Amino acid sequence: MNDEGCTYYDDIIEQMTLGHRFIKSEFNQTLNIGWHIDPFGHSAPQARLFSEMGFDAWLFERIDYEEFEEGKENGELEMVWRPESYNREKNYLLAHVNFMKHYKAPFSYCITVICDPDSEFMHDLPSRYAEWMKNQLSYYPSKRHILHQVGGDFEWYGLRKIILI
């Protein structure tokens, strides 16, 4: 992931080329969906460059708080991201903003095997989680489907350490 706010276009291309080569050589896969877990803003050429690099969709953990609130108010936390110039009809991406605005389990829900499965908290977790997700539907255009990752990099890191021990 490059810093989207203040990176030169050639640095963006170099960073993505390095990442694509690694994925292709290690896993023999070509990616068409990207996820920026911790961006610090978005520069104008990002949508165009990502589209030209073969991406169809881009997922964001967070965006500017004013844009996020406006997206919630208008039900547009998912949208078509088009560059302001340079072939707008060809270079665009489906963009999805995560409702949580950061990468972890919602509201400190315990989602790993570290939790005590007999606790009262775990007993009604599925229904509370489902209700929480349903409450987000109005913020996205489809009103039927939303995307939400469960857990974050540091959360699962702790789980991995426990499993390895």
Give residue-wise pLDDT tens across range 33-47.
988 777 777 776 788
Stated as kind and residue range, the H or E segment containing 93 is strand 93-97
Give residue-wise pLDDT tens across range 65-104.
898 899 999 988 888 888 776 666 777 888 888 887 666 6
Q: Which domain holds residue 59?
A: 9-164
- DSSP state letters, 21-72: HHHHHHH-----EEEESS-----TTHHHHHHHTT-SEEEES---HHHHHHHH
Number of H helices, E strands in the chain: 6, 4
**Sheet of strand 78-81: strand arrangement:** 33-36, 57-60, 93-97, 78-81
User: Does 64 fall in a domain?
Assistant: yes
User: Does 1 fall in a domain?
Assistant: no
How many C-beta atoms lie closer than 10 Å to residue 91's C-beta?
A: 18
Give residue-wise pLDDT tens across range 97-135.
888 766 666 655 555 555 555 555 566 777 777 888 888
User: Does 4 fall in a domain?
Assistant: no
User: Does 2 fall in a domain?
Assistant: no
What CATH number is attached to the domain comprising 97?
3.20.110.10
Active-site annotation holds for 38: yes
| Overall domain count for the chain | 1
User: Does 63 fall in a domain?
Assistant: yes
Q: Which of 38, 56, 124, 153 is catalytic?
A: 38
95 SS3 class: strand
